[in-house]
């Protein structure tokens, strides 16, 4: 029987810590894990097999697709789309052991935060290297590796990701409007 607490749906096979904060209307599907200290907003969808680490903040109305991994230090603002198998990192110099051969412990490294702006979309299998900011309404192409900040309304692709154009709020690529403002064929202005 699924857990229905304050209008939150949690699939029977999902693992959600009691100490996680989950907003009303959110759905967490099979085999997803949400750790203690994670905060997920209202009306979100967390896909099958997604992982939300402690210290992650997810805004309202976000969609996190199957197999995505959000590690400590990630902040998603409202309305962010995270495609299937997207990977966020949180350590710029990952090592399993210290120079003396001892296993690294929590005090042996520092989390490097990452922020994704309102309405941004990240395509399937993209990798987001920690420490970047992805601007509002930006679009990251499938398979891209984001190693530096992405401006608002930018469309980035490649390894490493580079700006290939601009998008409006509807997600379509566009050129500038008469005043230089972002505009697409749909008439949306960024």
pTM of the model: 0.90
- Which domains are assigned to the chain? 3-183 (2.160.10.10)
User: What's the pLDDT tens digit per position in 27-62?
Assistant: 999 999 999 999 999 999 999 999 999 999 999 999
Q: Please give the mean pLDDT across all residues of the chain.
A: 92
According to DSSP, the β-strands at 162-167 and 173-176 are antiparallel
Name which of 170, 119, 163, 174 is nearest 141 in CA terms: 163
Is residue 21 within 8 A of residue 42, CB to CB? The reply is: no
Cα end-to-end distance, the chain, whole Å: 44
138 contacts: CB under 8 Å, gap ≥ 6:
117, 120, 121, 150, 151, 152, 153, 154, 155, 156, 167
pLDDT, tens digit (0-9, with 9 covering 90-100), for 83-126: 999 999 999 999 999 999 999 998 888 999 999 999 999 999 99
């Amino acid at each position: 029987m699924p857990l229905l607490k304050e209008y939150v749906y949690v699939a029977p096979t999902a693992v959600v810590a009691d100490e996680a904060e989950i907003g009303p209307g959110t759905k967490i599907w099979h085999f997803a894990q949400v750790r203690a200290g994670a905060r997920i907003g209202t009306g979100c969808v967390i896909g099958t097999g997604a992982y939300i680490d402690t210290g992650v903040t997810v805004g309202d109305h976000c969609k996190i697709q199957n197999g995505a991994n959000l590690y400590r230090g990630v902040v998603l603002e409202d309305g962010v789309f995270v495609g299937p198998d997207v990977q966020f990192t949180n350590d710029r110099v990952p090592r399993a052991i210290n120079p003396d051969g001892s296993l690294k412990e929590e005090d042996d490294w520092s989390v490097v935060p990452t922020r994704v702006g309102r309405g941004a979309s990240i395509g399937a299998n993209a990798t987001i290297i920690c420490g970047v900011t992805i601007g509002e309404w930006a679009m990251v192409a499938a398979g891209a590796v984001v190693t530096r900040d992405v401006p608002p309304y930018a469309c980035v692709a490649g390894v490493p990701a580079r700006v290939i154009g601009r998008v409006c709020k509807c997600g379509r690529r566009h050129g500038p409007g008469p005043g230089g403002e972002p505009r697409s064929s749909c008439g949306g202005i960024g």
